[in-house]
């Protein structure tokens, strides 16, 4: 059962050294979520053979160009491909005005409907829910309205242990067992305990995306214990003053948050174009949080059950 993150763009303000601006694709089972949409996003999707038509929701963290300038082109391509399925778009309130103006000025009529959801930036808010997972927005500190996103699977059912399943158990009763319920006969007498016929539920997986932000510990309770954390690390620690003044984080900032939140793995990205070689950034972060990896475009990061 899939829980897969693909990095489409890992650089910050401008493309550099073959790296593109921020964008990610998250697949949870048959649900596809696009997280930010920097310039060139649709080209990256095509390059890595990801089907644009599968994207159901797009989450835009904030209105700096390196996080959404690829959006209008992607929407137009979806329309030219004949998309009929509606699209849920989450972002700052002004994003709706931007999209409307661009479509109007270019005399573009999309073939599908956009359901726009304006984000709140005062406190964490659950913004999406289906049968598989929830998505919660988390306010960032970036000098402009900016949100991160927490993707967390819902509790999963117990698994039937087919080796011990009696033949007289019906399909409706199997559903009861999956819910953790014991089976009783018509007179209320216990027939089977679910613990004897089931295996524990599979692991609940979670991913937190901390978009552009300076170091802020108030995010820690909201991402505590997540399996996978992406945290921007625009600069190395020798540029900490620059990072703070520009509302960005360093490698040390990102690693410290990961350590204090006791996450499973940290991905650092949103690299400044001053860095051609990324290994020094990785080494600096790993000194604080050893299970750190670089955001590499085209690479999949998988969470096992």
pLDDT tens profile 202-260: 899 999 999 999 999 999 999 999 999 999 999 999 999 999 999 999 999 999 999 99
Q: Which two tokens stand for residue 112?
A: 């599908």
Residue 170: its pLDDT value, please? 84
Q: Is the confidence at residue 1, as pLDDT, over 80?
A: no
Separation of alpha carbons 101 and 245, rounded Å: 32
Check: CB of residue 112 under 8 Å from CB of residue 84: yes
Among 66, 212, 227, 253, the one annotated catalytic: 66
Domains identified in the chain and CATH numbers: 3-156+202-302 (3.60.15.10), 159-199 (no CATH)
Per-residue pLDDT of 148-191, as tens digits, reads 999 999 999 888 888 888 888 888 887 877 888 888 888 888 88
Band (194; pLDDT cuts 50, 70, 90):
confident
pLDDT of 27 higher than 90: yes
66 is catalytic: yes
Task: Record the tokens describing residue 152, joined without a space.
Answer: 């967390």
Q: What is the pLDDT of residue 271?
A: 98
What integer pLDDT is reported at residue 186 of this predicted model? 84
| Predicted local confidence at residue 212, as pLDDT | 97
| Residues 6+ away with beta carbon under 8 Å from 35 | 23, 24, 25, 26, 59, 61, 149, 209
Q: What percent of the chain has pLDDT over 70?
A: 100
Round to the nearest angstrom and report the end-to-end CA distance of the chain. 8
- For tokens 């988390």, name the residue: 138
Residue 163, pLDDT score: 85
Residues whose CB falls within 8 Å of the CB of residue 100, separated by 6 or more in sequence, listed in order: none
Half-sphere exposure of 285 (CA within 13 A, CB side): 31
pLDDT band for 8, please (50, 70, 90 cuts). very high
pLDDT of the residue at 121: 94
Q: What angle do CA 256, 259, 261 make, to 5 degrees?
A: 105
- 288-303 residue pLDDT tens: 999 999 999 999 999 9
Of 201, 204, 208, 203, the C-alpha closest to 265 is 208
pLDDT digits (tens, 9 = 90+) for 41-100: 999 999 999 999 999 999 999 999 999 999 999 999 999 999 999 999 999 999 999 999
- Tokens of residue 165, six digits: 């399943």
Task: Say yes or no to pLDDT of 40 above 80.
Answer: yes
Res 287 pLDDT > 90: yes
pLDDT at 250: 98
In whole angstroms, give the CA distance from residue 138 to residue 61.
10
Burial of 165 (0-12, 13-18, 19+ CB in 10 A): middle
Residue in 72, 75, 78, 6 with CA at minimum distance from that of residue 44: 6
H helix runs in the chain, sequence order? 41-47, 71-80, 94-105, 171-178, 194-197, 220-223, 240-245, 251-261, 279-286
Q: Are 36 and 61 in contact (CB under 8 A)?
A: yes
């Amino acid at each position: 059962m899939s829980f897969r993150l693909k990095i489409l763009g890992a650089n910050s303000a401008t493309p550099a050294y073959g790296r593109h601006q921020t964008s990610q694709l998250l697949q949870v089972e048959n649900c596809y979520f696009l997280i930010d949409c920097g310039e060139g996003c649709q080209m990256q999707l095509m390059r890595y053979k990801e089907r644009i038509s599968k994207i159901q929701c797009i989450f835009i963290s904030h209105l700096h160009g390196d996080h959404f300038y690829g959006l209008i082109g992607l929407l137009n391509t979806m329309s030219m491909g004949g998309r009929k399925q509606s699209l849920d778009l989450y972002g700052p309130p002004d994003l709706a005005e931007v999209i409307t103006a661009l479509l109007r000025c270019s005399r573009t009529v999309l073939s599908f409907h956009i359901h726009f959801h304006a984000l709140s930036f005062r406190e964490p808010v659950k913004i999406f829910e289906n049968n598989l997972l929830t998505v919660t927005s988390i306010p960032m500190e970036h000098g402009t309205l900016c949100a991160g996103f927490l993707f967390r699977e819902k509790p999963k059912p117990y698994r039937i242990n087919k080796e011990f399943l009696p033949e007289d158990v019906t399909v409706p009763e199997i559903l009861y067992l999956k819910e953790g319920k014991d089976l009783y006969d018509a007179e209320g007498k216990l027939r089977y305990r679910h613990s004897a016929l089931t295996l524990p539920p599979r692991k609940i997986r979670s991913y937190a995306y901390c978009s552009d932000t300076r170091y802020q510990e108030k995010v820690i309770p909201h991402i505590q214990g997540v399996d996978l954390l992406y945290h921007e690390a625009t600069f190395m620690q020798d540029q900490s003053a620059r990072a703070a003044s520009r509302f960005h984080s360093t490698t040390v900032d990102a690693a410290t948050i990961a350590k204090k939140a006791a996450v499973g793995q940290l991905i650092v990205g949103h690299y400044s174009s001053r860095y051609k070689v990324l290994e020094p950034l990785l080494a600096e972060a790993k000194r604080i949080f050893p299970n750190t990896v670089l955001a590499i475009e085209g690479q999949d990061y998988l969470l096992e059950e």
